[in-house]
Amino acid sequence: MMKTSTPLGAAEGKPGDRSAFSFETQTRLESRSDGFGKDGARYGRTGTIHTPHGDIQTPTFIPVATQGAMKAVLPEQMKELGAQCLLSNAFHLFERPGDEVVDEAGGLSRFMNWDGPTYTDSGGFQVLSLGAGFKKTLAMDVEGMKSDDIIAEGKERLAFVDEDGVTFKSPLNGEKKRFSAEISMRIQHNIGADMMFSFDELTTLMNTRRYQEQSVERTFRWAKRCVAEHRRLTEERLGKPYQALFGVVQGANYEDLRRLAASQIASLDFDGVGIGGAIEKRLLGQTCAWICDAMPESRPRHVLGIASVDDIFSAVENGGDTFDCVAPARCGRNGAVFTHRGRWNIKRAQFKHDFEPIEAGCDCYACRNYSRAYIDHLLRAREMNGYTLATIHNEHFFITLLADIRKAIEGGYFDEFRQETVTHFYENGSRG
């Protein structure tokens, strides 16, 4: 096993040192009359998140290693293409191999041979994906329908919410599993990521206003329980590095509910904030700004689950520091690749005899060494190398995009860079 660096803030026989985690702002976007925040504020910024396993320069894209692994790509390759941090799914690691196994291995970073910071989500996403059955949660486009019993087509409800928590039917073996604020905290402490999220209820845009109100209050009650249990476990688990806890703001499309939820989460002793839940695409920027209006500047802001180019620019402008999404890897495995001229499918017939790289000028490993024709062949033959190369390219695209946005903010040309990038990306349509 690779010798990962000793995490900061861990001392034998002592609780994790909270000072090993912090955030500092470096450059802020200037306010202006059309800014969505208070007094025209645009909360976009560059900064540094200091964690026990290393620093993260923001804004940045965080690839999703759902089960403690990037599908078809090794951690060393992720580091080479510029990833600063990885995010794993607490629910799936609880299902297998079990959070106790990850704890025994020395925590998530050491378990998956990743010498860098990590996030885990809380299991809250599964409240939606196993409940209503929807997969896409942010920047949704919906019309009209309101129902608290809505189910995605062809899906069965596998998650049931009550005041104390959620009962899941395991997608692996059908067994009933229980998650609550305290259980989620225990699992995430065992997994040992540098940053973790409080347990929340993720709703859909189709839920009624009344249900959204109830859900916001329930998430707040769960958040208070998470803070208390996190504090207890930090004191109990001696010799471990401190794990930062992020509260999650819900409230769907409703400005008053988003502002209420943001003020509730801001009032608790969290280290950061997750901007979560379903958000209609046209309101993504405003929603981020409403939340940032209430948040202390010292708390990093993670936007959960987006990977559309225009959405990323909107979220960065309005305060997002870090972003995660499964889309780059999932799309790559299906042949969809992201380029500066848009997203297209490499398995089109026209690429069978095309020996150029996926994107001219791209310096990722796939583009430096392999052709469209070869990657098309691998994907059609269902060879794992095809998944690897397409994923490397797509993850590199988003990691590089966020790195370039960071440079643009620091250099004072964010608005010009946004206009140029979005125009070129969508010049052949809205796909992406």
Give the residue numbers annotated as catalytic, written as ranges: 121, 324
Is 122 annotated for ligand binding? Answer: yes
Is 362 annotated for ligand binding? Answer: yes
Is 292 annotated for ligand binding? Answer: no
Is 277 annotated for ligand binding? Answer: yes
Residue 330 burial class via C-beta count within 10 angstroms: exposed 0-12, middle 13-18, buried 19 and up: middle
**Rounded CA gap, 88 and 339, in Å?**
26
Residue type, 116: G
Is 331 annotated for ligand binding? Answer: no
Is 250 annotated for ligand binding? Answer: yes
Backbone dihedral region for residue 113 (phi beyond 0: left; psi -120 to 50: alpha; all else: beta): left
Q: Which residues contact 363 (CB under 8 A, 6 or more apart)?
A: none
* DSSP code, position 237: S
Helix (H, G, I), strand (E, B) or coil at 58: strand
Backbone dihedral region for residue 390 (phi beyond 0: left; psi -120 to 50: alpha; all else: beta): alpha
Is 393 annotated for ligand binding? Answer: yes
User: Do 328 and 395 form a contact (C-beta atoms < 8 A)?
Assistant: yes
Is 125 annotated for ligand binding? Answer: yes
**Rounded CA gap, 59 and 417, in Å?**
15
| CA 165, chain centre distance (Å) | 22
Is 123 annotated for ligand binding? Answer: yes
Structure tokens belonging to residue 415: 């608005």
**Rounded CA gap, 265 and 247, in Å?**
6
User: Do 81 and 364 form a contact (C-beta atoms < 8 A)?
Assistant: yes
Residues composing the chain: 432
> Which residues define the annotated binding site for Zn(2+)?
362, 364, 367, 393
> Which residues define the annotated binding site for substrate?
121-125, 200, 250, 277
> Which residues define the annotated binding site?
121-125, 200, 250, 277, 362, 364, 367, 393
